[in-house]
Amino acid sequence: MLTRRTLLKSAFIAGGSLGLSRLPVFGKAVFRLQDNPPLYRFLFCNDIHVMKEADAEHLGKFIDDVNTVPDLFDFLVVCGDMGQVGTEDELMLSKTQLDRLKKPFYTVMGNHDVTGGSKADREPYYNTFGSNRENYVIEHKGVGHIYMDITNGKSSRVTVPQATVDWLKNALTKLDENLPLIVFNHFPLHKDAPEYTAVDADKIFNLLDSRNVLAYFNGHWHGRWKGQRNGTDHFCNACMSNSRDNHTFGPAWYKEKWEDMTEGYLLVDVFADGVGTTFYEYGQVPDLKSLPPVTIGFPKEVTCLT
């Protein structure tokens, strides 16, 4: 199917006379104009599963590491499962460390961030990270970042909540139809993800396929994976936890392709036509000298749509 987003991307790539380069990133060639730096960078991690003080210290080491390179990135995304059983005490252990970050951070709700399936079971998350961190949009440097909650209580396998579909439909009416978008949620949406793809993910795609979505990011599956759908990249990253391991089960093709289950995080370069990702193991810090410079900026909270 030729989507509007595919036409936009094709129009950009057609500019070969301007000098295009192919950058191999996470198994894919990302097109961008030569010598044109990223619009911005952000860090992405997921499934940190803080249960006790030792887990919080593990997260704190990551915060200390990336605080040494404040000119590297504009913000951090933590894509769910900041806790394990979802109590406020547990989630506060995560937030106390995240609050030490020198840059803003944005969270999405995971199934380990709630204590059950009722609205009241979400209160610890709201009290810790804010009631405006359930479904929301942040605009930054001409790109919209959509953060969605598709949890079904503590279930590891989910259907897309109708409330989230309704929210997304309404939010999109408030965004320019040409605005590039990056979408974050805890559970995989791509049907070819190794495990745990959200049932009826088409409810989301039906709303976003006509938009210029640069990439989808998720956690939940504790392992690195990348796929494409309609020309748009889907990224799933390894967990970064002191208490939980990355998955070694799954389809044979997955185990053969991804033998290294090392925990870590992604450095994401955002370009006009897509994103490039670089995986860093926990404890590794990117070398600023080896990366194209970017102009550092802070996302504008006033553009948040709840």
Q: Which helix (H) or strand (E) holds 44?
A: strand 40-45
pLDDT single digits (tens) 105-146: 999 999 889 989 999 999 999 999 999 999 999 999 999 999
245: which 2 tokens?
Answer: 């391991």
DSSP states along 228-257 = EETTEEEEE-----SS-PPP--S-HHHHHH
Q: Is pLDDT of 22 > 80?
A: no
57-75 confidence digits (pLDDT tens): 999 999 999 999 999 999 9
pTM listed for this prediction: 0.85
DSSP 127-170: HHH-TTSSSEEEEETTEEEEE-----TT-SS-BPPHHHHHHHHH
- pLDDT tens digits, 157-199: 889 999 999 999 999 999 999 999 999 999 999 998 877 888 9
Closest among 196, 203, 198 to 221, alpha carbons compared = 196
CB 29 within 8 A of CB 23: yes
DSSP of 93-120: HHHHHHTT-SS-EEE---TTS-SSSSSG
Task: List, for residues 208-220, the tens digit of each pLDDT value.
Answer: 999 999 999 998 7
Full set of structural domains in the chain with CATH: 37-303 (3.60.21.10)
Write down the pLDDT at residue 244.
73
| Token pair belonging to 260 | 């290294």
Label residue 302 by pLDDT band (50, 70, 90): very low
Tell me what pLDDT residue 224 has.
84
Please give the share of the chain, as a percent, with pLDDT higher than 90: 60
The pLDDT assigned to 223 comes to: 80
CA nearest neighbour of 93 among 242, 221, 238: 242
Give the Cβ contact number of residue 167 at 10 Å: 20
pLDDT at 238 over 50: yes
| Mean predicted confidence (pLDDT) in 223-233 | 90
Distances from the Cα of 158 to the Cα of 80, 150, 155, 297, angstroms? 14, 7, 7, 36
Average pLDDT over all residues of the chain: 83
Summarize the confidence of residues 35-56 as an average pLDDT: 90
pLDDT of residue 16: 29
